Amino acid sequence: MEHLKEVRIEIGEQAFRINAATIITKYYTDRLKVRGIKRNRMSILNQVNLKLHGLDVDKVSYGFIRKFY
């Protein structure tokens, strides 16, 4: 994430948002699979959007999460 933050201006806000959301979603879903925890998509969506809010980025949709989990 730190490297992505460094190139935020060069790649644009939309590309940064999609890439950051992808990284965060993959991280959360991988951790859940490793730990054997079942979560619903809304829970994952809330976690991803909370992290994106911390990065000052717009939220992603439920459909975005469906691609990964």
In sequence order, which residues have a C-beta less than 8 Å from that of residue 22 and are 6 or more positions away? 68
Q: Residue 69's pLDDT is what?
A: 80
13 within 8 A of 56, measured Cβ to Cβ: no
pLDDT digits (tens, 9 = 90+) for 6-64: 899 899 999 999 999 999 999 999 999 999 999 999 999 999 999 999 999 999 999 99
Map out the domains of the chain as residue ranges: 2-66
pLDDT digits (tens, 9 = 90+) for 12-28: 999 999 999 999 999 99
Tokens of 55: 């990065």
What residue type is 31 in one-letter code? Answer: R
In residues, how long is the chain? 69
4 within 8 A of 21, measured Cβ to Cβ: no
pTM metric for this prediction? 0.87
Beta-carbon-side half-sphere exposure of residue 9 (alpha carbons within 13 Å): 1
